[in-house]
Structure 1
Amino acid sequence: MFDLDKRWQLHPQAALRPEPFGAMLYHFGTRRLSFLKNRVMVEVVRSLPDHMSARAALCAAGVEDVEAYVKALEVLANSQMLEQTS
């Protein structure tokens, strides 16, 4: 389960590349590719290190439907695109 109250960041081996539809995420270690098809999600992922928690990043992005975004963040964490920080 994705912990909204923890700090998260893009994994050091993952890169985010903006695209007209949103962004592509590529993990150089696992060689996995993910797509972010929502610009708000791109903003949330980029801003994660700037906030004390994922919940704060979602709030700062103006996200109201938190559950849908939590599922997407959980998928990214499970695929090692995101990692928890201290």
Structure 2
Amino acid sequence: MRIDKFLKNSRIIKRRTVAKEACDTGRVYINGRAVKAGSEVSVGDKIKIDFGNNTMEVKVLELLEHAPKDKAQGMYKIIN
């Protein structure tokens, strides 16, 4: 699954266009590497997102094409 789609489906970022912009400006990392919006994410990957002064680090637990609100948080586990 594309990283921008994962961020939107998991509701870490509310809109896919915002997720794409965050990726393209170098604020999203998969396993320590800066990635573009089209980069693939897999179960077990560690994603780091820089939000201004805050940083969020999550581990991918599940990939769902259509995640209802109650299952969206089950797609990842917050590490930091």
Q: Same fold (TM over 0.5)?
A: no
Structure with greater Cα Rg: 1
Instruction: Give the TM-score category using the shorter length.
Output: 0.3 to 0.5
TM-score, with structure 2 as normaliser? 0.33
Which structure: greater helix fraction? 1
